[in-house]
Amino acid sequence: MEYFNQHVIITGGSSGIGKAVAKLLAPRGANISLIARDRQKLVNAQREIATASLNSSSKILTIAADVANRQSITAAINKAIATLGTPQLLITSAGIAHPGYFNQIPLEIFEQTMAVNYFGSLYSIKAVLPAMEKEQRGQIVLISSGAALIGIYGYSAYCPSKFALRGLAESLRGELKPKGISITIVYPPDTDTPQLAAENKIKPPETQKITATAKTWSAAAVAEQILRGLEKGNFAIAPGMELTILNRFHSLLTPILNWYFDGIIRKINHKQ
């Protein structure tokens, strides 16, 4: 897919994976709308992306909005469309993660995680669809997580929000296809971003040990996999061998992985 002069909207585009995708698309001449809450982070990201695309004609628009607030994200997407036209591509990367023990995580965190990760993506799709449907073209990319393929100890607030995106993508796929619109779901592995750094500070020891079994990717490498998967027209993008296998065989592998993780948890509980 050529993105030259095409409009790309990225929620969560001021940081991490969303920003890394923008840094790959801007040099190809895409016009990009970055949506996130913090204005200063948006301005910094805009500068960084502009530097990464020195010789390109790419326009980069920043809009401060909260994806968990229906009015806020709808107005932001309408503004992006009014300024840069119907998007060829929407990437919903805005997300939060708050690991912890189930009985210690306040209910508000469960609600907020679902509001940002699931409803934030849903509102964004609802806001772009009328324009995409009119032109009978468009691509929607939901950034889910490897934590949507297997429930992980300590992620009882986060995993369900990412599983929900999987259900949304699977059920929307067939409905959007006849309208010329594709949907893709991405299951990133642990990726070196401010979000992961913040999670690492509060993960229970069991979660630390379980997640330490997987390698951490750079945001740039994940972004490259996303664009490669999009070029191939993949419905699901699971970067790396481990997540590729988990994506294909998770129902078969879950009992074996749970047995392995239970061993890790038992060892930690014995030490305490």
CA dist., res. 202 & res. 216, Å (int): 17
Shortest Å distance, C-beta 180 to ligand NAP: 26
Q: Is 188 in the site for ligand NAP (CB under 6 A)?
A: yes
Q: Which of the ranges 22-30, 184-192, 246-254, 262-270 carries the binding residues for ligand NAP, by CB under 6 A?
A: 184-192
Q: Active-site residue 123, yes or no? A: no
Q: Which of the ranges 65-73, 229-237, 247-255, 256-264 carries the binding residues for ligand NAP, by CB under 6 A?
A: 65-73
Q: Which residues pair with 64 in a beta bridge?
A: 36
What is the helix (H) or strand (E) element at residue 122, kind and residue range? helix 120-135
Contact 176, 170 (CB under 8 A): no
Q: What share of the chain is helix, strand, coil (3-state, %, to 5)?
A: 60, 15, 25
Query: What is the DSSP track for 62-109?
Result: EEE--TTSHHHHHHHHHHHHHHH-SEEEEEE---------GGGS-HHH
Q: Is 193 in the site for ligand NAP (CB under 6 A)?
A: yes
Q: Is 170 in the site for ligand NAP (CB under 6 A)?
A: no
Letters for 3-42 (x = contact with ligand NAP by CB under 6 A, - = none) are --------xx-xxxxx-----------------xxx--x-
158, 161, 182, 203: the active-site residue: 158
Q: Is 191 in the site for ligand NAP (CB under 6 A)?
A: yes
* b (16+ CB within 10 A) / e for 43-81: eebbebbeebbeebebbbbbbbbbbbbbebbbebbeebb
Please give the structure tokens belonging to residue 176. Answer: 């959007």
Shortest Å distance, C-beta 16 to ligand NAP: 2
Name the residue nearer to ligand NAP (CB basis): 81 or 185. Answer: 185
3 state DSSP class of 11: strand
Among 43, 52, 66, 257, binds ligand NAP (CB under 6 A): 66
33, 144, 145, 161: the active-site residue: 144
Amino acid symbol at 169: A
Catalytic residues, which ones?
A: 144, 158, 162
Residues that bind ligand NAP (CB under 6 A): 11-12, 14-18, 36-38, 41, 66-68, 93-97, 116-117, 120, 143, 145, 188, 190-191, 193-196
